[in-house]
Structure formats: structure tokens, C-alpha cells
Structure 1
């Protein structure tokens, strides 16, 4: 089939009605260069100009209304009008530089397979004007099997958005049916790292009525036969007007409109990105990686697994490396012995649910993407990175250590928030002491079992150790998604005793203490339990705690991502949306809040 690259297909029709690109693009494998969207042309009778649907080829629920040369529009506002009585308008202002960037007006947040109505207000020749455009979109295209899961195309509203939360948009990073997985890997079969960690993603955005309002046509972007175009899509975040994420051997940037900004290989001998990227205010990025051809402490050459973090500058040049094999203890196994082997992050094997491994089994594990000790095995499983600008401290979550740790730019550990068991030497002195609200010590066991879990508990196989509200030089606020597997470094009597929670702590970095301030999810029990994945994040614009428990129901074969926001200090969600998974064994990874930032 012929490839269409960087060419607009123009149809002569009457009126300004858009058509989706999806019918033409079906079955077409695209390069990283975008396929231009279809346009509608009406021989000068259009109100403003030509309408390009999916102009850049990767965001089918977007459009650009071309502004002809010689016309000057200012004070532009776009409103994609709601569908039905319960629908939600998406409304935003468009800055002058954005009009120049697109040579037109960007339209974001269309409904799929629908005759959309888009109200545009603008000023021209000193007069305020407006017009409602009709834009027809096509059906959603993920992978064939994913498309068949129509439940994924509509979020289920569990808590109707409270006042002030109606305009929220949630981008869900999910995983499809697993078709066309990568067939390429690293050239070290004895110690392969995580090079084959790959699955076709679904990247989709929902409003607070549960309606799909944006998705990325990732099948036009990835190539299962290309070393640098595969890998799990992870760590996707909004940075200004763009989305940034990593996958396998590269990291990428693309605008909300689908403009491909860049794709960059990981530098040097770094490999196997997964889980997280953190964007610093100076433009540098902190990226979780691994290391190829690494000589471990017994002299063997291995590809490591999820145990390195690097910082790169805005041009992709390496600034700093944190090698956790040298900073921490890769042989600490207290948490690994308590893990549920049925779900080790996205490596899901229901037949192993509830099973654990012994110290001897861990030591005898082959090299590769398996739980085990020592460089070359998945001993750390770093699944989040963030950065404290106040003291140049890297904050990492190590799932397989059930530990949240802060490390300086000098590669020295500042503190460890974890059960005391297994930490030795200088590292043992960095473990924080739990205290209650009155400053009294809480005596937990070496295993991490504490007397009153409503007052204090550690986090277990957690995801996303991020900075909370009102962080300062002495008192560090830590907000964590506590998945809850291996709580107390053991498995409970019944699997249904597990629970997942979002939990906020304050760490006194001078006195080396930690106090639990707030939690949500414990009272919901197993219904809210996600054995893997998920996210928490403090949202300053709404003064709320955002929590997404993304793999509930995983072992029952009916995965649901449960996305909610709780006003800060309260205990009931202001909004809650459930998004159903693609297939059994396919958890959602994370969700994130998206803002139509076209006014920058």
C-alpha cells in the first residue's frame, strides 16, 4: 500500500465539514514523520479558512482551522461544545504565537465518530465575531483487538464532578492487546536486561462525563521491528504545550495537537527506559534507565535492570548519573522475599498469584528481568523519579525494596523511608524514625509491622514517590501511591485483605523523622487494590490530591483504572471516573491531568 507522507489530501465539498484521516490511514505504517491530515476546501466560501482534521497525523481528535494570508485574528477563543445534556465543553484561549505555529486555530478535544460543533470567537478589524463550525470525526483506532473493547471508549462516572472540577481532563496510559510485540533485544542473551519489555499502548483522554476527547494514534508512531520504536510507553506527562514520554531505547516529545517535536535515543550505553521522566524547571530531564555491558561485583558483564537514573540537558547531553548498584545495597532481599510473584509490575502471571520466593531462590535467579539480587536482576525496580529543587535531591521509589529514598547530587543518600530490616552500615543510619502527631516515636518491627496502621504505616511495593504540598527546606512533603503488596514484608492470610492507598508524609530532614499526615484508600479495601502501577500527585491548581489506582481487578481478569481527586485535607472524592481495561492481564499504567495550554 502506498505511504502518504507530509501531503494534505484536499476534498472539494460545500461548507466547512471535516473528515477523519482514519479511513485512509488504515493499514498504513507511518514513519516518525507525520502524515498530514485531510482537509476540507470550499472555494472561498469558508468563514475563516480550510479545516485540517488531524493535521499532524497522530492526534485524530484534533483539527486546525487555517487562517488565510492577509487576515489578522486576535483574542481567539475556542469551545468544543458538549455532546448531550451531561456533556462537558472544552474551552480555551489561543495565544498569538500558537496561531502562527499552526498557521491557523488549533481545535483540541473533539468527540470521536461524531458531528462536532466548535464555537470560535475572535476579533478582526476591530469587531468581535464568532462562528460555530461543524467537524465530523471518524471512529477510534487503537489495535484491532483493542478496538473491539468498546467499553474502553467510555469512562464510567462514579462521582459526578463537584463545582470547580468539571473541566478536568484525564489522560490514561493503558496497554492494549499485546499484538505486534517487539522481536528485537540486546545482544547479551545470558544477561538480557529488559530489552524485550514491549506492548502496544492506548493513550486516551477522558472528560468528567467519561467521554473520550483525545487519543494518540500510536500505531502510526511505533514499529515492532525497530529497536528504537518499541517499548512500553511510560512516564507520559504534560510539559507546557507538549507531552513527554519514554519507551524502550528512546524518549519522545509531541504537542497536544500531534506535532512530533523530537525522538531521542538514550545517550551512551544507557538502555531500557521505563516508568518515569521528570522535567526540571531549567529544562533538564531526569530519566530512569538501565546500563548495557555493565561489569557487576563478581566480574560478569550484564545488562542491568531498572537501577540507573540519568539527567540530561535540553539538548539531550548527559549531565549526571546515579548508579544505584553503587549507592545502595543490591543484595538487600527482605522485600523481595515477601513479594507476590503473580504481578511483578507489568510482568503478570496469574498462576503465580500469592506465591513468594526464598532467599536461596532469589540468589539463584538467572540474569534478566526477574526479581533477584545483584546487578543484572530486577533487585531495585525504580518506578518513579522526582527532584527537590531546594537541595538538589533526587527522590526515587524502589518497588522491590519497598523504599522511598532521597539522594544528593554527590550520590550520597540523604534519607530512607522504609522498614529498618536489611539496611546495613551507613545506610542503616539513614533510615527515618516514624513519629506520631505529638512527636512520639512509633515502634515498628524490623519487618516494618507497626502497631496502629491508621496512624502510621510504611509504603509497600509503591509507585510514584512525588513531592507533596508546601514542601520547604527542612520539612519535606512526600506523597506516595502505596500499592500494598507485601505489607509488613509478608503476604496476608487472604489476598482480599490487601488494599491500595494514597498517603502523605512529612519528613523532618534535620531530626530524621517521618510522620503520616493523610491517607485515602485503606477504607475501600480490596475493591481499590492495584497490585501494580498507578499514581498519586498533588495538584496545586485545584488544591487537591490526585490518585489513580490503575490495575484494580487484575487477578479477576477485569482490570479497571479508578481515577479520582480529593480536595486537600478532605476524605471524599470531588470526582471519580473508572476506565475499563483492554484485556485480561493488561493493566493501565498511570493517568495524568491534561490542560489545553494553548494560551502560552
Structure 2
């Protein structure tokens, strides 16, 4: 979270002061006094505030938003900037609550000079919008730090635009966006969801305005990137160098969701294009009969090890491409491949599955996807691929409505594959979810994340329709598969049976 400059927030105060209320405060003790205080609630991010103040001497400040459930629900941050003019972003307030926010003032060496408490009253959450959140399992000692960002979609016939929110380990919502009064994002539709930039801000693509947006946690738009001639859908990913990879459709084409573009972060220009109609086989109808939405790309990630991208084509496969749009490998059932649009035989790039003893699986029914091997199953209608620190690929294997071309496999998995690019082999290393069956089966959307610092997996089926419609957020110990945290999100109503697109575990302050 960037430490906002004072003059920027005074401008925001002029614009939105009617929606804010100055709170009564007490003077700190010690060797510092405070003056010119303003506490401002932010209209686009109603569970955040800004505290503007001046101190009699230059100080740095620590903040504590006091939680309802002891230290586990506190939000704390030490700011490094030393100044006598302060604008403190306050994150993690509760809705419809008299929140207590404590500031501690320190000198440059860290010596405490005084402290002060503020009471910040917030409004209730918008009615009939957010889901009921049930905490099924919680081990606060072992689960990873932070809260859960939900790219929420659980509404129907509701004027509320897409409203991402963050909930804590107790199931309390501690942050959300409300862009209904925004002149730019009042009809926000970010499709697969929102993620965090390397600088701590949030980013997403909006399908209505065809732009990428960077916002801060206070709801302020920091920057935008447009891409004339293309229609945004599904996913945008930040590369290590700051550029953006974006899944798009080319306007004027009869086919959809079959282009990837790269946008230069600084110049905002499109610097590279991948035309999947050329590199893959448009006429392959193995998993779909839709001639327009033939591949339905729902994700793109970057592999820095060889300067390639990996795309998730929901109705084709996982595919690795180099920067010149050449296929490196294809991970999906072998049935139905042939020549690409530019005349290359794609069968040469199909990955050969191995069993646990590193022997090739030769059963043609397994290769083509009709049956599964005890040691290996193909990915079906997958979402959210990621690269693990060891170079393996993990993916949310949805199963879709047609696993093994039979529809009998009503289960979803988080699954890890080891891929040898030189030998064109793939081996299943780790999986979770099949044993949960219908309880975590989500044929569409959904997410998986690997938390490398904790060696945990977050398995998030986002569109479960098992008697009722709900989504799950399940945190697992990778080594033991013990469940450390599980939450069930049940929306009051749902569009297309979706509760959420994706989730992310993060701390409110970077």
C-alpha cells in the first residue's frame, strides 16, 4: 500500500466531504501533539478511511485496527515515512460498527512518543448483496497470514456492479468496492477477477470499457491501459517487468477469445500479439461444438524460465507458446489434434503422460481421454494455471460437464503436473479434490493458488451447485493435505450459478 501524499487526499476531501464525517479524538500523551485532524470514509471503498493529521515533530506512525476476535483479527501496519504531515490509509474496518483505530507515534529511531485512538463508525453492508460466510474449519496457528480476496459474482437482477470483497478468518467482511456512483466503473464487469500488482495496488480488466485498471485499496483509480481493436475478456496478468498479458477477442472477427496481447506498462502500446487461430487448430471440436468460441481462453501466465506464455483454453487444452506464437507443448487429451492454422502438425507437441514409475502410459483410451490411468488424469475444462517454485504446473481441473466424454466424473481437482519440455512428457505429482466429489465440484470458473512461503494450497471451487449454490475456499497443507481453513460462501442469489470467479490470500497492507 503506498503512503499517499497529503495534497492528493485534500483534493479527495473536497470532492467527497459530504459523504464523510470527522470523528472526535483525544490528544496523545508523550512528546508529540496532534493538530488539523480529519477522518474521511471513502465512498468507493466503504470499509477504508483516511486519517489526515499534523504532528508537532516529525514522526513515523504505526496503525492498529482493533479486531473483534483478539489478535488474529487485528490489522496492523508500520509506516516507514517520517514526516510532520500525515495521511494514513486505514484498511480493514468492520461494517455497521464503531471501529477502534489506534495510532502510535515514533521518532526516526523507533522510540515511542505517544499514541492516540480514533472511533470510526461505518455503514451497514448493502442489503441482499454479499454471501453468507460460514467458517467450517479454522486453525489460526497454522493457516497462512492474511485475508481472502473474493472476486464475487453472486448476484442476480441486482443493480450492484461486480463487488470484490475481502473476508477474514472469522468470516467478517473487512473490505469491499462499491463503484455504483463512479462515472467510470459504475457497471464494472471484471470477468475472472482481480489480483494484486507487485507495487501493492489491485488490478483488473473491465469487459465493458475494454481497459485495464490499477486501483488502490481506497478505491482510487491510479492508472488505465486501453487496447483499441480488441475486446477484453477473462484475464490480465502482470509480467515481472511490469508489462501486461491480456486475453482478448479481435474486434470484427467471427471467432472470439482467441488472441493474447502484451501491453507495455510505460508506453501503453501493444507490443506483441498471439493469434491462436494460427498457432492451434480452429476446427478441433473434441470438447466443444461451438464454431465461434472454439477455445475459450480463460487464463494466461508467463514463464520466465524460457520467455514463454501458458494459456488455458477451456475447450482445448493447456498450451505453451513462445513469443513468436509457436507451440512448445500441448497438455490435454490427444484426441482430435491435426494441423494448426499455419500448417504445423500439432501431434508433435502433445505431452506423453508417465506413470508413477516414469514409464510411458500407452493405453490409447487414456491418451485420448476416454478413461483414466491409476496414476494420471488429464485436465478437463481447466482454469487458473500457475507455475510452482520447482517449475511444475498446478491447475484447477474443473472436470466440466464432460469429463472422459461421459459426464460421469462430477469432481474437480487441484492438480500438479511435472512437465519435461525436452522429452515432451507430463507426470501427475499431486492432486486434491476428487475425494470430495460433488461437494467441491465446480464445472466453471474457480481458482487454485500455491502459497510458497507456507507450502499451502488454496483450492477454491467457485460455482458448486450441490442442492444449493455456493463457493468454497479451502486451505490445505501441501505435504499432508490436512485442511487448515475452510469457508463456505452462499450467495443470496446467483447469476449462472456462480458464487465467485477467483480468490486470493493477501494481507491488506503490503
Give TM class, smaller chain.
Answer: 0.7 to 0.9
- TM-score, normalised to structure 2, is 0.87
Show the counterpart of 1:132.
Answer: 117
2:228 corresponds, among 261, 268, 281, to 268
CA distance in 2, matches of 1:123, 1:511: 59
Residue range with higher mean Cα deviation, 171-180 or 202-211: 171-180
In 1, Cα distance between the equivalents of 2:473 and 2:20? 34
Structure 1 counterpart of 2:128: 148
Counterparts of 1:214-229 in structure 2, within 5 Å, are: 214-221=175-182
1:120 equivalent to 2:93? Answer no
Matches within 5 A, 1:6-155: 8=13, 38-40=20-22, 48=34, 50-55=37-42, 57-68=43-54, 71-74=57-60, 76-84=61-69, 88-96=73-81, 103-124=86-107, 127-141=112-126, 147-149=127-129, 152=131, 154-155=132-133
Q: 2 CA distance for matches of 1:451 and 1:596?
A: 42
How far 1:174 sits from its partner (Å)? 1.3
Q: In the alignment, which of 399, 410, 413 is matched to residue 484 of structure 1?
A: 399
Matched, 1:456 2:376: yes
For residues 95-154 of structure 1, give each alpha carbon's deviation from its aligned partner in whole angstroms, at most 9, with x where no partner exists: 318x89x9412211011100111222230485443233221111123xxxxx2256x1x5
CA distance in 2, matches of 1:93, 1:255: 18
Q: In the TM superposition, what whole-angstrom CA distance separates every residue of 1:328-386 from its partner, at most 9, and x where no partner exists?
A: 111100111xxxxxxxxxxxxxxxxxxxxxxxxx3xxxxxxxxx12xxx1111101110
Deviation at 1:292, TM superposition (A): 0.6
Cα displacement string for residues 464-521 of structure 1 (whole angstroms, at most 9, x for unaligned residues) = 12112311xxxxx10000011245441335xxx4001100010011111000010111
Q: Paired residue for 1:310, among 251, 257, 261?
A: 261
Work out whether residues 286 and 310 of structure 1, in 8 Å CA contact, stay in contact via their aligned partners in 2.
yes
Q: CA deviation at 1:450?
A: 3.9
Answering whether residue 147 of structure 2 is matched by residue 169 of structure 1, we say: yes
Q: Secondary structure at the match of 1:82?
A: coil
1:262-302 Cα offsets, whole Å, 9 max, x none, are: 2332x23111x1221111111101011110123xxxxxxx3
Unaligned regions of 5+ residues in structure 1, if any? 10-32, 142-146, 182-198, 295-301, 337-361, 363-371, 472-476
Shift of 1:73: 1.8
Deviations 1:376-398 (A, max 9, x none): x1111101110001111100111
Residue of structure 2 equivalent to 1:416: 330
Secondary structure, counterpart of 2:472 in structure 1: strand
Aligned-partner SS, 1:559: strand
**Structure 1 position 231 matched with structure 2 position 207:** no
Deviation at 1:83, TM superposition (A): 1.1
442, 461, 477: which one aligns with 2:361: 442
Show the counterpart of 2:168: 207
For 2:304 and 2:16, locate their aligned partners in 1 and report how far apart those are by CA, in whole Å: 36
**Could you say what the CA RMSD is over the residues aligned between the two structures, in angstroms?**
2.7
CA distance 1:335–1:71, shift in 2 (3 Å): same
Equivalent residue, structure 1, for 2:482? 572
Distance 1:166 1:43, change over 3 A: closer
Structure 1 residue 281 corresponds to structure 2 residue 232? no
Structure with more of its chain in strand, by fraction: 2
CA distance in 2, matches of 1:335, 1:35: 54
Aligned mates of 2:148, 2:430 — CA distance in 1: 24
Q: Secondary structure at the match of 2:369?
A: coil
Aligned equivalents of 1:73, 1:132: Cα separation in 2 = 16
Checking the alignment, whether the CA contact within 8 Å between 1:51 and 1:63 is kept in structure 2 is: no
Deviations 1:228-279 (A, max 9, x none): x5534433101132000011111111011222202332x23111x1221111
Residues 163, 230 of structure 1: alpha-carbon distance in 2 compared, 3 angstrom cutoff: closer
Matched, 1:328 2:280: yes
Q: What's the secondary structure of 1:96's corresponding residue?
A: coil
Cα–Cα, structure 1 residues 36 and 247, in superposed 2: closer, same or farther, change >3 Å?
farther
Quick one: which of 155, 159, 168 aligns to 2:137?
159
The answer to whether the 8 Å contact 1:34/1:260 transfers is no
**Matched residues, number:** 481
Going from structure 1 to structure 2, the CA distance change for 1:482 and 1:72 (only over 3 Å counts) comes to same
2-structure distance, mates of 1:221, 1:307: 31
Matched-pair contact (CA < 8 Å) for 1:334–1:489: no
CA contact (8 A) 1:8 1:39 kept: no
| Kept after mapping to 1: 8 A contact 2:476/2:483 | yes
Corresponding residue of 2:342 = none
Query: Which ranges of structure 2 fall in alignment gaps of 5 or more residues?
Result: 1-9, 340-344
Q: Is the 8 A contact 2:137 2:487 kept in 1?
A: yes
Pair 230,136 (structure 1): closer, same or farther in 2 beyond 3 Å: closer
Gap change, CA 1:579 and 1:328, over 3 Å in 2: same
Moved beyond 4 Å, runs of 4+:
33-37, 41-47, 84-87, 486-489
Secondary structure (helix, strand or coil) at the match of 2:241 reads coil
Name the counterpart of 1:190.
Answer: none
- In 1, the alpha carbon distance for the partners of 2:100 and 2:25 equals 22
- 1:343 maps to what in 2? none
Aligned to 1:339: none
Distance 1:136 1:566, change over 3 A: same
The residue that corresponds to 1:246 in the other structure is: 205
- 1:428 match: 347
| 1:41 Cα deviation after fit | 6.0
